[in-house]
């Protein structure tokens, strides 16, 4: 464990990321493009703050009475033939899906993009049950071929150069391709089309459920979401239990805010709202629609007033794009399914004993840009402080550093200790200031400050503190002069 309360994991991954030129420029380009898109959309919209007010309220309202809202959803969805299942945790959610797949004799499950399915590790469960789980979102398919995790909630594969994508496709298909985007996308289109047509099972997430009409809504740009929810005989939608609004009017606010917050689009190419399987007189569409409502740590979050508002998240990724840490090192540095500010908050909550996730609370400058960008105004920066408090209470992280910080904080409360300590620190600071050999040597052996030695030249501290100069300032005032 390092000297600063972080296991080496985040530090190591972040440092690794910092050394990767392609990754750095790719992540920066992505986050700049997406947040500029959002900023443009906000300027053009005019009503953006009013929409934000409405959606923030709508999400909190639904969450505050989630049991009642879900009851209405289930009742109305069931009336249209939706089969609703409930999963307490990830394992149960996987079991339900695997059992459905078995019951249908499914050999191939075509998947639309679903962060929840990543979270519960569904693909592994399906593969273990001899069901091929095929990602069909272009980015998700690429990372599936590469055996990686997505590095961004909306654009999963921006960390990957096109040459690597080409190589993956060439290996996969035994073909020769060029690096051009059109060619690569065309290859994916042709290969995956056949799969859409032969898949037994379609699995998607659920961007938002609507209680009023018992609906499940899917937002997408590529059309694969439509494919997997239309062509296979059975469609399963995985739904985080908190992903629901009460009314269609609330849903209109979401339609206005989600695409703009994510990429700056006025609306995604496709918004698909499903009320049930195909009606008997309809020609095509799935014969069965199953919704698996998943808890997996969300009810625990609901119980905790410090973190309940994080359930309002609509998974737009705006916080990632606004975050100085994310936009510098990218998603893989976090080492979790959800990266960025929202990930740094919910991942420790989903696995409360995991120290590796707990450390993510420190991967933030607390600049508040996430809260500013969030369409539903989640105070992520305050939640990160709450997580740091939980870490301190439970003694997670570097205990000696924490003890030192406590001593310092308590010392700050006693004026003469503060003043005396400050004087000592300034005196000591003269020995570690500047970039001479001796100061650097001393700094490298000073606890707490030693990691700074790797990156900083410390300035020469002042001889006198402000409070030491106050008497002079009083005299100055009495004389009526101030150096002029």
Of residues 408 through 467, those in contact with other proteins by CB under 8 A are 409-410, 412-415, 418, 422, 425-426, 448-449, 451-452, 454-459, 461-462, 464-467
* CB nearer other proteins, residue 127 or residue 194: 194
Question: 257: which 2 tokens?
Answer: 């805010």
Tell me the C-alpha distance between 228 and 203, whole Å. 7
* CB nearer other proteins, residue 276 or residue 343: 276
Question: 87: which 2 tokens?
Answer: 């999963």
Buried b (16+ CB within 10 A) or exposed e, 294-308: bbbbbeebbeeebbb
Tell me the C-alpha distance between 176 and 245, whole Å. 47
In the complex, minimum distance from the CB of residue 261 to other proteins, in angstroms, rounded to a whole number: 16
- Count of residues near other proteins by CB under 8 A: 159
Rg (CA), the chain: 27
- For residue 139, the surrounding DSSP H or E stretch is helix 138-146
Q: Does 14 bind other proteins (CB under 8 A)?
A: yes
In the complex, minimum distance from the CB of residue 192 to other proteins, in angstroms, rounded to a whole number: 7
Q: Which stretch binds other proteins (CB under 8 A): 49-57, 121-129, 245-253, 346-354?
A: 245-253
**What would the x/- binding string for other proteins be over residues 368 to 407, using CB under 8 A?**
xx-xx---------x--x-xxxxxxx--------x--xx-
* CB nearer other proteins, residue 277 or residue 335: 277
Cβ pair 307, 383 in contact under 8 A? yes
Restricted to residues 163-182, the positions that interact with other proteins (CB under 8 A) are: 165, 181-182
Restricted to residues 315-374, the positions that interact with other proteins (CB under 8 A) are: 324-325, 328-329, 361-369, 371-372
Restricted to residues 17-36, the positions that interact with other proteins (CB under 8 A) are: 18, 26, 28-30, 33
Tell me the C-alpha distance between 249 and 247, whole Å. 5
In the complex, minimum distance from the CB of residue 103 to other proteins, in angstroms, rounded to a whole number: 18
Restricted to residues 193-222, the positions that interact with other proteins (CB under 8 A) are: 193, 196-197, 211-213, 221-222
Count the neighbouring beta carbons within 10 Å of the beta carbon of residue 436: 12
* CB nearer other proteins, residue 354 or residue 446: 446
Q: Which stretch binds other proteins (CB under 8 A): 49-57, 134-142, 335-343, 436-444?
A: 134-142
Restricted to residues 32-71, the positions that interact with other proteins (CB under 8 A) are: 33, 64-71
Question: 382: which 2 tokens?
Answer: 């305050």
What residue spans of 174-244 are helical by DSSP H?
181-198, 224-230
* CB nearer other proteins, residue 87 or residue 97: 87
Task: List strand residue ranges (DSSP E) for 285-327, in order.
Answer: 288-294
**How many residues are present in the chain?**
484
Q: 60, 149, 172, 248: which one contacts other proteins (CB under 8 A)?
A: 248
Cβ pair 243, 291 in contact under 8 A? no
SS3 326: helix
Task: List strand residue ranges (DSSP E) for 115-263, in order.
Answer: 132-135, 201-204, 208-210, 215-220, 234-240, 244-245
Q: 272, 313, 320, 380: which one contacts other proteins (CB under 8 A)?
A: 272
In the complex, minimum distance from the CB of residue 70 to other proteins, in angstroms, rounded to a whole number: 7
Q: Does 116 bind other proteins (CB under 8 A)?
A: no
Q: Which stretch binds other proteins (CB under 8 A): 13-21, 117-125, 347-355, 437-445?
A: 13-21
The owner of tokens 């009336």 is 79
Q: 47, 102, 249, 475: which one contacts other proteins (CB under 8 A)?
A: 249
Q: 7, 9, 11, 444: which one contacts other proteins (CB under 8 A)?
A: 11
Cβ pair 240, 294 in contact under 8 A? yes
Residue 129, class by beta-carbon neighbours within 10 Å (0-12 exposed, 13-18 middle, 19+ buried)? middle
């Amino acid at each position: 464990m390092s000297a600063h309360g972080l296991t080496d994991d985040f530090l190591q991954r972040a440092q690794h990321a910092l050394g990767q030129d392609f990754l750095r420029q790719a992540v920066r380009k992505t986050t700049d493009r997406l947040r500029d898109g959002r900023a443009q959309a906000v300027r053009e919209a005019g009503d953006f703050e009013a929409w934000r007010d409405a959606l923030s309220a709508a999400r909190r309202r639904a969450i505050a009475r989630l049991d009642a809202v879900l009851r209405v959803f289930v009742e109305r969805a069931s009336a249209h033939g939706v089969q609703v299942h409930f999963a307490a945790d990830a394992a149960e959610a996987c079991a339900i899906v695997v059992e459905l797949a078995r019951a249908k004799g499914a050999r191939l499950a075509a998947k639309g993009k679903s962060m929840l399915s990543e979270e519960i590790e569904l693909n592994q469960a399906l593969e273990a049950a001899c069901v091929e789980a095929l990602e069909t979102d272009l980015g998700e398919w690429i990372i599936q071929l590469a055996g990686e995790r997505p590095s961004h909630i909306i654009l999963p594969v921006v960390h990957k150069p096109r040459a690597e994508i080409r190589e993956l496709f060439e290996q996969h298909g035994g073909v020769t391709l060029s690096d051009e985007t059109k060619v690569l996308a065309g290859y994916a289109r042709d290969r995956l089309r056949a799969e859409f047509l032969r898949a037994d099972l379609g699995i998607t997430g659920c961007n938002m459920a609507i209680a009023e009409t018992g609906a499940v809504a899917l937002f997408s740009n590529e059309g694969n979401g439509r494919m997997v929810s239309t062509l296979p005989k059975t469609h399963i939608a995985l739904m985080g239990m908190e992903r629901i609004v009460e009314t269609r009017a609330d849903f209109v606010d979401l339609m206005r805010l989600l695409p703009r917050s994510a990429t700056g689009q006025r609306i995604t190419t496709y918004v698909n709202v499903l009320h049930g399987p195909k009606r008997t007189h309809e020609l095509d569409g799935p014969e069965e629609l199953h919704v698996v409502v998943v808890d997996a740590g969300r009810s625990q979050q609901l119980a905790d007033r410090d973190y309940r508002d994080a359930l309002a998240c609509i998974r737009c990724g705006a916080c990632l794009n606004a975050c100085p840490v994310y936009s510098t090192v990218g998603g893989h540095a976090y080492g979790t399914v959800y990266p960025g500010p929202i990930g740094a908050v919910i991942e420790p909550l989903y696995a409360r004993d995991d120290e590796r996730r707990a450390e993510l609370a420190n991967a933030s400058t607390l600049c508040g840009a996430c809260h500013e960008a969030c369409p539903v105004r989640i105070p992520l920066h305050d939640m990160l402080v709450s997580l740091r408090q939980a870490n301190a209470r439970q003694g997670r992280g570097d205990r000696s550093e924490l003890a030192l910080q406590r001593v310092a904080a308590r010392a700050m409360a006693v004026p003469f200790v503060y003043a005396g300590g400050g004087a000592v620190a300034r005196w000591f600071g003269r020995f570690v200031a500047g970039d001479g050999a001796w100061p650097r040597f001393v700094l490298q052996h000073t606890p707490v400050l030693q990691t700074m030695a790797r990156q900083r030249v410390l300035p020469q501290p002042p001889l006198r503190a402000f409070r030491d100069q106050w008497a002079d300032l009083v005299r100055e005032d009495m004389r009526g002069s101030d150096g002029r």
